[in-house]
């Protein structure tokens, strides 16, 4: 499952962080940023992104050749796909579309047509939040921030250590992002055009199954990224075969203030001590307290045995 993410980079920094090499060239190219739609809502950097928020999503430019000069483009989209058949207010479809399960994609009335029509995308984040559901004894679920392993002295919850720099010869040198596979759709009525997406999830592997039984489909190699975005040459079934549970991730516990989606501050992804629930068992002092001797008045004499005559 994936219900919250974080991305604090501004528009220009996101373009730099998503830079890529074109085959046959030695320089890095920044993807174009396509114009906003989404009923006037724009991408706002945030440490606590929730469904219905707008975030930058990486897609192939094959459908936007008139608007883009690069092979990949960044398009701001709303988190939570609007079903193509929905009528009326785009916020009133009442379906949970924040995530879509990998194992159900090909049989889904909603997601399979989008997949077959080339609606593959990559959601760009610095990290995502997950609440521990495997510890049933916890009354308050501990939230964690999960992110890519960082280089050198970079700490994901301390932006002052990021050293965000870019040049065409060496590419992006800043904070390492997570790239999550997803599906997107373009919905419109007479008034608005909404670009929206869902994050693909899969069964957790040993990296995260201690935390939650589901995890996002994360693309951590260039081969995976290229295959997932190449909707013109990589067919859907082949693209799905590239989605594997990622093994290398980092994480730390965060405060429960992230539970409220209105909290967007830098404190959301700060490392904290884990929540410790009170132990319902006896304390050591209780186990080793002296046992009082029974008073003689509490003792009872054994019943006399009957004598056979």
Distance CA 63, CA 40 (A): 22
Measured in Å, how far apart are the chain's first and last C-alpha atoms?
A: 82
Q: Which domains does the chain show, CATH number per domain?
A: 4-287 (3.90.1680.10)
Per-residue pLDDT of the chain (309 residues; tens, 9 = 90+): 688 999 999 999 999 999 999 887 889 999 999 987 888 889 999 999 999 999 999 999 988 877 778 899 999 999 999 999 999 888 888 888 999 999 999 999 999 999 999 999 999 999 999 999 877 777 788 999 999 999 888 999 999 999 999 999 999 999 999 999 999 999 998 889 999 999 999 999 999 999 999 999 999 999 999 999 999 999 999 999 999 999 999 999 999 999 999 999 999 999 998 877 554 333 333 333 343 333 333 443 444 444 443
Q: Provide the whole-model pTM.
A: 0.86
- Give one word for 94, left, alpha or beta, with left for phi > 0 and alpha for psi -120 to 50: left
Return the pLDDT at 92.
85
Residues 16, 100, 130, 268: which is the catalytic one?
130
Return the pLDDT at 1.
62
Return the pLDDT at 299.
41
Residues 2, 18, 100, 121: which is the catalytic one?
2
Q: What is the greatest pairwise CA distance in the chain?
A: 117
| Matching residue, tokens 């720099």 | 165
CB 81 within 8 A of CB 184: yes
Query: Is residue 121 annotated as part of the catalytic site, yes or no?
Result: no
Beta-ladder partners of 268: none
Return the pLDDT at 56.
97
Query: Is residue 130 annotated as part of the catalytic site, yes or no?
Result: yes
Nearest to 111 by CA among 201, 4, 233: 201
Nearest to 213 by CA among 97, 49, 101: 101
Return the pLDDT at 19.
96
């Amino acid at each position: 499952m994936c219900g919250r993410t974080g991305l604090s980079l501004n528009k220009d920094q996101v373009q730099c962080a998503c830079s890529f090499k074109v085959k046959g060239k030695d320089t890095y190219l920044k993807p174009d940023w396509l114009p906003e739609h989404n009923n006037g809502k724009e991408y706002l950097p945030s440490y606590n992104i929730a469904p219905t928020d707008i975030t930058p999503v990486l897609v192939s430019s094959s459908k936007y050749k008139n608007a883009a000069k690069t092979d990949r483009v960044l398009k701001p989209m709303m988190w939570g796909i609007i079903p193509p058949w929905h009528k009326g207010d785009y916020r009133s479809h009442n379906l949970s579309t924040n995530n879509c399960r990998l194992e159900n994609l090909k049989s889904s009335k909603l997601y399979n047509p989008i997949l077959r029509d080339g609606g593959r995308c990559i959601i760009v984040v610095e990290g995502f939040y997950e609440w521990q559901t495997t510890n049933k004894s916890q009354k308050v679920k501990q939230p964690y921030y999960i992110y890519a392993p960082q280089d050198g002295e970079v700490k994901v919850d301390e932006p002052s250590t990021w050293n965000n720099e870019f040049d065409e010869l060496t590419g992006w040198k800043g904070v390492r992002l997570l790239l999550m596979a997803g599906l997107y759709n373009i919905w419109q009525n007479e008034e608005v055009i909404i670009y929206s997406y869902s994050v693909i999830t899969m069964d957790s592997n040993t990296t995260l199954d201690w935390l939650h039984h589901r995890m996002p489909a994360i693309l951590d190699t260039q081969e995976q990224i290229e295959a997932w975005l190449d909707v013109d040459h990589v067919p859907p079934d082949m693209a799905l075969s590239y989605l594997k549970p990622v093994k290398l991730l980092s994480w730390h516990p965060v405060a429960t203030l992230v539970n409220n989606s209105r909290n967007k501050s830098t404190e959301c992804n700060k490392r904290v001590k884990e929540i410790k629930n009170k132990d319902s068992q006896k304390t050591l002092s209780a186990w080793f307290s002296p046992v009082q001797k029974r008073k003689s008045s509490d003792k009872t004499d054994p019943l006399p045995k009957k004598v056979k005559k």
